[in-house]
Structure 1
Amino acid sequence: MAPAPSPSPQPARPPASTAGSARLRVSVLLPMPFPGPFDYAAPAEMALQPGDIVTVPLGHRRQTGVVWDSTSSLPPEFAPPPQRTVDAAKLRPVAERLELPPLTAELRRFVDWVAAYTLSAPGMVLAMTLRLHMRGVPTPSTGWLAASPQPDGLRLTPARQKVLSLLADGTARTTTDLATAAGVGPGVVKGLADAGALTPVPLGPERAFAAPDPLHNLPVLEGAQAEATDALRQTVAEGHFSVTLLEGVTGSGKTEIYLEAIAACLEQGKQALVLLPEIALSAQWMERFTRRFGTQPAIWHSEVGQRARRLTWHGTADGSATVVVGARSALFLPFKNLGLIIVDEEHEALFKQEEGVIYSARDMAVVRARLAGFPIVLVSATPSLESLANVEAGRYRHLVLPSRHGGAALPETRILDMRDHPPPRGLFLSPALTEELTATFERKEQAMLFLNRRGYAPLTLCRSCGHRMECPHCTAWLVEHRNRKILSCHFCDHTEPMPEACPSCGAEQSLTPIGPGIERITEEARHLFPDARILVMASDTLGGPAATAEAVGKISRREVDLVIGTQIVAKGWHFPHLTLVGIVDADLGLGGGDLRAGERTIQLLHQVAGRAGRASTPGRVLLQSYTPEHPVMQALLSGDFDAFMTQEAEQRRPGFWPPYGRLAALIVSADTAVAADDAAAALGRVAPYGEGIQVLGPAPAPMAILRGRHRRRLLLRTRKTIAVQPILRRWLGLVKLDRQVRVDVDIDPVSFL
């Protein structure tokens, strides 16, 4: 990640500026893919200021936008090229200023910075703040008071008398509150209102967020936990920009420690944001938060309904939502007084958005904290090499928790060499692993099997002609999902029924699944352990946070003997009765040309292993591997994550690969292979060069066809001291591309598909 520019005071801007006439000019940024804001005429009576949310004419319709700053605070190398100035006489007037909280100067600078860093249209970054979430101000709710005098002839039933007795204290209550408190149905309240016995009164805008209490249920922390807590509390109290990497082995209590940092933030009257990589994690995390603070925080992710999103948007803007937990897009909420960001599982690749505005939420969270001048905490049991490099360079502070909380021991790890312990033909679980599972169930303990592959089998081929079932829109095999009797592409979501015969040669009953997916492992486990209570945890079997919470509850209540899951089971769960973890294919993910293959694999498997033995009973981890001599396997066996990461760093440093250099990818896509090849070749011919600058490609992308578009890639690599944005801007400006061609820019890529 490039270092953020030092925050500078936003230049003061008058309500409007004159431009050769009496008309007042304002810039308005629209949440659309334009290169910058448009100028409009501002009616003098509006007295518009930067940050005001307005509606303006655009063509034949109106569009919501934000009055933007006329002077950029970005350094010259990040600033976009100036736009043409429109004559004041031709400006169309702003139509309306909306009664919404204005966007703060800090958030406007952040939008500009993210757009400049990612080479995105600033309006598309703004769209992540404005689009849909802010539509509609929370409407005032209606309460009831007892009418005085009461209407003549009012029939008073016992239920009605209960309602009127509640209202005798003169406190207005909503229909729901009245009915609940009186123990009657809402129809009783409505009947009193219809009879004229109740008078409606406005209660003000709906407020959905109770204030978390930092003094509720204070934890008892000792040793390294107490030291880390004190350090974080002191950092929050100082209130300056800083980045702290909180590293701790799985089960060391990292969540409890950073919750105390949130408490310190609340004590200062500021807001806190917690970013989680997976929305499913919010289920168990919410329980911990509620236990500590006595109420739930605001939640923000893709499965939250539109009404809840609107309330959260307004709650962050007016300060009533003091703590928000959410996915990466929560970073763009319009906080009134944000004072702390926590990025949990900071190493997770899920923090990188791969479509639209391509950005890393972890890295941009650091930028937002720096621009606004408050602390940020990155949390992980297996920190990314980028964060460790920043610690080494002195940019980040490092807090380490070396042992598990409460005296629990780290699990014992053993590698099963599948060459010595092969499974029976057609099966995938080693006899050594099944023996351990049997012994675990006999002790009434819980076990987990992990395989990071959804579906029944990753490949289906014909035994007669060798035909492979492929996606018609992507360079990808179709994955069999036997439970649903379909073949599915996990890249474009194309599905088709499982055919009875080979579509190539017509041979019937010849299609054969190759390799295991999680459904196939479940089938094998049910056959081996018919009495075991099995629960499958995968993104396509859990319908969302509610279903995940129900699954977690079953495991915690010991209603499950065996959990079988994909990567969703690796992230932060605390199952105190789970003592055995079996990793079915530990080598999965080590192949291919991914720069971070080893780092990602050890992070994932270390996290999965960390689910075992988190309470008093010791845990065991068995890794099935055909390459036990691989450095990743040996590091997992020894438990020396630090040594592996040091070795990984030494391999990347000489060739200035990240984090010791910079990468930026150009992904060229078109409707035809010829158009994609021509555009990529044109970019290749004018590729930049110089000391510390190298361009790799063009070459077909590993995923050469995605959703019907042909893809080619070029990779710019530079030394750490060279900013890639000016190079990319000049490079892209040298080539005029056909309209059907699209070039996506990925700064700091984490995926090379």
Structure 2
Amino acid sequence: MSVLIPLALFTAYDYAVPEGLPLAPGDFVAVPLGRRTVMGVVWGDGDDSVPAAKLRAVEARLELPAMPEVSRRFIDWVANYCMAPIGSVLRMAMSVPEALEPEKPIKAWQLGDAESGKMTAVRQRVLTALENGPPLTSGDLARAASCTAGVVAEMARLGMLRAVALPARRPFGRPDADRPGPTLSEAQRAAVDALAPLTPGVTLLNGVTGSGKTEVYFEAIASCLRAGRQALVMLPEIALSAQWLGRFEERFGAAPAQWHSELTQAERRVTWRAVLDGEAKVVVGARSALFLPFADLGLIIVDEEHEPAFKQEDGVIYQARDMAVVRGHLAKIPVVLASATPSLESIVNTDQGRYRLLELPDRHGGAELPAVTLIDLRRDKPERQQWLSPSLIRAVNETLADQGQAILFLNRRGYAPLTLCRDCGHRMQCPNCTTWLVEHRYSARLQCHHCGYQIQMPKACPACQHEGTFAACGPGVERLAEEAALLFPNARRMVLTSDTVGGPKKATELIRMITEREVDLIIGTQIIAKGHHFPHLTLVGVVDADLGLSGGDLRAAERTYQLLHQVAGRAGRAERSGRVLIQTYDPARPVMEALKDHDQARFLKIEEEDRRQAGMPPFGRLAALIISGSDDGAVEKQVRMMAAHAPRVDGVSVLGPAPAPLAMLRGRHRRRFLVKCRRDVAPQGFIRQWLRGLKWPGDLRLQIDIDPYSFL
């Protein structure tokens, strides 16, 4: 049998099957590899040309359900498309090795022989706690009886209590599909009627912010549960999903299973097993949840489908939204992509008939979209070394006086993006990357947001040794918060960024404070744009709308529109109307005019035509090849050799080699090729032909990114 091992391997290995050990594809097995034993999955029949006597034998079959056939086909597909080692893709599906081991039952206690020990008041309390209830663990029993764990242990020793084994606790409940949901609008009901049959295929659910997309796909989840199948919901920022989880529990009466990096190892182990055996009926998670071995997946929801967070940039590089579509196709199940600002790729797919389109054009409950005003910073100038224009300052003061809440949005963490010495001009740069160190004044440190390198803020310039000469250049949210403290001293303020949100529990508390009006002014980055409902929020001020428009990113305008439209959509979602003020140096840009007029269709039409003329995605294909190494000369020599051997293929052009925009990252020098193909030409075949026979001396590495999103 061939066994695939979750390591960076491009093929499965053949093993002999001992007599009396029945194995089938998908079985989890223990096999020898070198001097150690590793876990893997039976992938096929193996190569009969190799004599069994020359093969090492499978050691054992693990006692758990087999990996479903559709999961194995999905792993094969992803590895082939992304040009990644198939073993590395399997590792994403087997990310919790402990889950392969037998589950340890929980030791609990029930009534034993009450006469076998002397009765005391405290012992009577212990027995009473067990009389009319289920078995309890030592800790739960001690709490219920208001005694110590030692009392429970002594009663067990005497035989007054009897040990029983309970199954491992699940950190989720069983959602009730028939629990009544909220009253739906006519448009929501029409969308639900279209989704409820769970017809295979992809549906784009395009609804303005506040239109009730979540309630619509909740009803699709209810249909999936009634059919006895599992559902997966993918969110871009699982750490900030507190409101979503609350709405889910209100609708279904139980929490879903969660899958994200903040879970404990014990929670991950239990959840992985529950997904495989079908007990976890609804899973909400980050992009990695797509690779869980679902026993019977019947529906996939990708919420905020346009979000760049669905693109994984390290390890196996993939776009989770696109891979969700593939997973749905392989299983012949429905996939729902939901967004207020759909990606151009999804819009074009609906125009070409590949996806079905459902639209929610109005906010739920009659709420109006906020009025958007563009502030021209060339005319309405902030004071020197300040970042808020007089118009925006006036609007915040009016909002606070009217007992409303306001957001000041700046998509830049820290205090300042650049720190330099006034005397000698020295700039504080990361030693491992070609990027400036970002000052974080709250923690008195300088940090690289690419490799994580950080140092305490030095007292003296490392170049000229002068003290007190550092100058902060440009604003981050911490600097904006400093300005807000001077301008609005009586406002209760909160800074909301990935630095201040330490995980789901902290996020839940911060969102609660905003929702319950314990905060007047929120200063934050893009994480405040992710689908939150703040009923008292009436003003959004965008401090620097031009921030994401620089550089060579082909999606810069699209991303700027999506992000600013999403953050603007936080305003006026309840009874009170909202307004949005956007500061920009170029209000005539199409993206700014589209935001002002709520005219997404016009913006997408311009963006679509620009991409079509350039042959860029979705009207062409791209692949990036990044060559890196610790020796810059060796990297340069390798890419020149590669350039000389690039095949000539009709419909394919190779751009480069050129230094990557981040020419050094984590101590490695980087060069980049960009492969540009016609829509009908797949880059994978060209790249395989190009790379065939190439050697990679020393520590040189090649990273292949099919359909690149980041151009750093």
Q: TM-score, normalised by structure 2?
A: 0.97
Quote the residue 1:569 is aligned against: 528
In 1, distance between residues paired with 2:546 and 2:95?
42
| Equivalent residue runs for 1:337-348 within 5 Å | 337-348=296-307
In 2, distance between residues paired with 1:188 and 1:246?
58
In 1, distance between residues paired with 2:358 and 2:196?
13
RMSD over aligned CA atoms reads 1.7
Q: Any idea what the Cα deviations from partners look like across 1:459-478, whole Å, max 9, x if unmatched?
A: 11122222211111100011
Match of 1:393 among 352, 365, 380: 352
Match of 1:657 among 596, 611, 616: 616
Counterpart residue identity of residue 65, structure 1: G
Quote the residue 2:279 is aligned against: 320
Match of 2:108 among 143, 149, 171: 143
Counterpart residue identity of residue 223, structure 1: E
| Equivalent residue runs for 1:719-730 within 5 Å | 719-730=678-689
Counterpart residue identity of residue 356, structure 1: G
Quote the residue 1:23 is aligned against: none
Quote the residue 1:29 is aligned against: 4
Quote the residue 1:156 is aligned against: 120
Quote the residue 1:198 is aligned against: 161
In 2, distance between residues paired with 1:205 and 1:616?
46
Quote the residue 1:79 is aligned against: none
Residue 625, structure 1, aligned to residue 625, structure 2: no
SS of the equivalent of 2:533 reads coil
Match of 2:474 among 479, 498, 515: 515
Q: Any idea what the Cα deviations from partners look like across 1:20-69, whole Å, max 9, x if unmatched?
A: xxxxxx10101111110000111121111111111111111111111112
* Residues 585 and 171 of structure 1, relative CA distance in 2, 3 Å threshold: closer
In 2, distance between residues paired with 1:652 and 1:70?
46
Quote the residue 2:266 is aligned against: 307
Match of 1:231 among 176, 194, 210: 194
Counterpart residue identity of residue 562, structure 2: Q
Match of 2:41 among 66, 86, 102: 66
Quote the residue 2:84 is aligned against: 120
Residue 426, structure 1, aligned to residue 385, structure 2: yes
Counterpart residue identity of residue 660, structure 1: F
**1:200 Cα deviation after fit:** 1.2
Quote the residue 2:182 is aligned against: 219
Percent identity reads 55
The farther-off stretch of 257-266 and 61-70 is 61-70
**1:506 Cα deviation after fit:** 2.4
Q: TM-score, normalised by structure 1?
A: 0.92
Q: Any idea what the Cα deviations from partners look like across 1:287-325, whole Å, max 9, x if unmatched?
A: 111111111011110111100000000010111111111
SS of the equivalent of 1:416 reads strand
Counterpart residue identity of residue 227, structure 1: A
Quote the residue 1:95 is aligned against: 59
Residue 531, structure 1, aligned to residue 495, structure 2: no
Residue 355, structure 1, aligned to residue 318, structure 2: no
Is the Cα contact below 8 Å between 1:207 and 1:320 reproduced in 2?
no
Quote the residue 2:95 is aligned against: 131
Is the Cα contact below 8 Å between 2:311 and 2:318 reproduced in 1?
yes
In 2, distance between residues paired with 1:659 and 1:178?
61
| Equivalent residue runs for 1:580-729 within 5 Å | 580-729=539-688
| Equivalent residue runs for 1:101-500 within 5 Å | 101-133=65-97, 134-148=99-113, 150-157=114-121, 159-165=122-128, 167-168=130-131, 171-176=134-139, 178-179=141-142, 186=149, 188-234=151-197, 236=198, 238=199, 241-500=200-459
SS of the equivalent of 1:273 reads strand
Counterpart residue identity of residue 210, structure 1: G
SS of the equivalent of 1:701 reads strand
Counterpart residue identity of residue 196, structure 2: R
**1:90 Cα deviation after fit:** 1.4
Counterpart residue identity of residue 93, structure 2: T
| Equivalent residue runs for 1:74-93 within 5 Å | 86-93=50-57
In 1, distance between residues paired with 2:229 and 2:153?
41
**1:655 Cα deviation after fit:** 2.7
Q: Any idea what the Cα deviations from partners look like across 1:232-261, whole Å, max 9, x if unmatched?
A: 112x1x4xx210000100011111111111
**1:186 Cα deviation after fit:** 5.0
Counterpart residue identity of residue 117, structure 1: Y
* Residues 459 and 103 of structure 1, relative CA distance in 2, 3 Å threshold: same
**1:739 Cα deviation after fit:** 3.2
Residue 551, structure 1, aligned to residue 510, structure 2: yes
Is the Cα contact below 8 Å between 1:154 and 1:195 reproduced in 2?
no
SS of the equivalent of 2:20 reads helix
Counterpart residue identity of residue 257, structure 2: A
In 1, distance between residues paired with 2:634 and 2:367?
59
In 2, distance between residues paired with 1:542 and 1:208?
22
* Residues 221 and 679 of structure 1, relative CA distance in 2, 3 Å threshold: same
Counterpart residue identity of residue 663, structure 2: A
* Residues 585 and 85 of structure 1, relative CA distance in 2, 3 Å threshold: farther
Is the Cα contact below 8 Å between 2:88 and 2:316 reproduced in 1?
yes
**1:184 Cα deviation after fit:** 5.8
Is the Cα contact below 8 Å between 1:139 and 1:206 reproduced in 2?
no
SS of the equivalent of 2:540 reads strand
**1:680 Cα deviation after fit:** 1.3
In 2, distance between residues paired with 1:85 and 1:667?
38
Q: Any idea what the Cα deviations from partners look like across 1:60-93, whole Å, max 9, x if unmatched?
A: 111111111248xxxxxxxxxxx99644321011
In 2, distance between residues paired with 1:714 and 1:495?
31
**1:681 Cα deviation after fit:** 1.3
SS of the equivalent of 1:108 reads helix
* Residues 99 and 615 of structure 1, relative CA distance in 2, 3 Å threshold: same
Counterpart residue identity of residue 140, structure 1: P
Q: Any idea what the Cα deviations from partners look like across 1:196-215, whole Å, max 9, x if unmatched?
A: 11111223444443210012
In 2, distance between residues paired with 1:170 and 1:574?
40
**1:281 Cα deviation after fit:** 2.7
**1:191 Cα deviation after fit:** 3.9
Q: Which runs of 5+ in 1 are unaligned?
A: 1-25, 72-82
SS of the equivalent of 1:43 reads coil
In 2, distance between residues paired with 1:214 and 1:378?
21
**1:685 Cα deviation after fit:** 1.3
